[in-house]
Amino acid sequence: MIEKVYLDNAATTRVDPNVVVVMTDCLRKNYGNPSSIHSFGRKSRALIEKSRRKIASLINASPSEIYFTSGGTEADNMALRGAVRDAGVQNIITSKIEHPAVLNTAINLQKQGLISLHYVKLDDDGQVDILNLEFLLKKYKNTLVSLMHANNEIGNLLPIDKVSKVCNKHGALFHSDTVQTLAHLPIDVKQNPVDFIVCSAHKFHGPKGVGFLYVNNKINITPLIHGGSQEKNMRGGTEYVYGIVGLAKAMEIAFSKMSLHHEHILKLKKHMILKLNKLLPKVKFNGLSGELSKSLYTVLSLSIPKFNNSDLLLFNLDLFGVACSGGSACSSGSSKLSHVISEISTKEENVVVRFSFSKYNTIEEIDYVVDKLKYLVG
């Protein structure tokens, strides 16, 4: 009998048991400070560098291009602020539906008078207008383009190959927030040249509080966090050794079983779409999340016409044991639509729900959730 269903994997994921094993083993045996020159320190240092080499190999990067961070937000800040401070960037082109880690950082840089900020046009589904991007790049020089690989709310996929080519053509730097896609989709930084990509381990069954920034070797930036000489003088502070080990293990598992996980999760998403269309035909899918070939397979965002007690939908789903999220400013308890949904829709009367899947979900769980949703919506 199903009692709990976790469908909020775009927010965070359950840690893989194999990751727990390597992390706890590291905690027990490797307590030396990686900066110490004695054998205990050298052993911890070796684990960090082994993890760095493993991660680099999975995205076809050089180990010297990987810098460990506390997660995606720090990595995004490190990239944007470093590009402005050290790489001569005077203009940032982004979109109005980026993650706050990018959007608010860019706005802050503009408020400080360090850059001019420009927004690329989006179509009604939230897709980037490539022709408008090229127009902006022709108009503004010394530019950084920052566009996320997959939107965390609606799952829209960026044609990263096209954007990469356009940026290269106009001599612009390209940063992509890859938090939602790294370890879910294959990423090759040589095949699709990017200057910065970011990672957060807890999005693919790794630990919270650890991630990395990839910086193309042709770019030199200075630290965001000053202190010691850790991370090749790029990030002061004692390294999160067992977190880094967990990150590398989670990434190794995700890449080795990517095709298998993709097939399984895509089947779940397809099943949910078909069942929703049958039982709740008035439900619409936000952005391109309902189009399997144009959206991230782990995310499905719904717009549901308002009904009695619709403001309590997430609360009532939680009472049924279903964990999901809304497209709203839920941290403040507000029912206001999120900046992403507001940008692509003016239908304030709709209730927005995001379901996001993982390798641990089952068809039976999807059936349970849709049945409970049908019961609540009517």
Catalytic residues: 330
Residues contacting residue 271 through CB under 8 Å, at least 6 positions apart: 363, 366
Query: Which has the closest alpha carbon to 59: 208, 180, 177, 199?
Result: 199
Residue 132 φ then ψ, to 5°: -70, -35
Q: Which of the 8 DSSP states describes residue 304?
A: E
Is residue 210 within 8 A of residue 246, CB to CB? The reply is yes
Return d(Cα 117, Cα 230) in angstroms, integer: 32
Is residue 93 within 8 A of residue 144, CB to CB? The reply is yes
Return d(Cα 26, Cα 29) in angstroms, integer: 5
Query: Which has the closest alpha carbon to 71: 235, 198, 211?
Result: 211
Which stretches of 112-240 are DSSP H helices?
130-139, 160-169, 230-233
Q: At which residue do the structure tokens 């096209």 appear?
A: 162
Residue 113: Cβ-neighbour burial (10 angstroms; 0-12, 13-18, 19+): exposed
Gyration radius from the chain CA atoms:
21
Return d(Cα 375, Cα 209) in angstroms, integer: 38
Return d(Cα 332, Cα 315) in angstroms, integer: 15
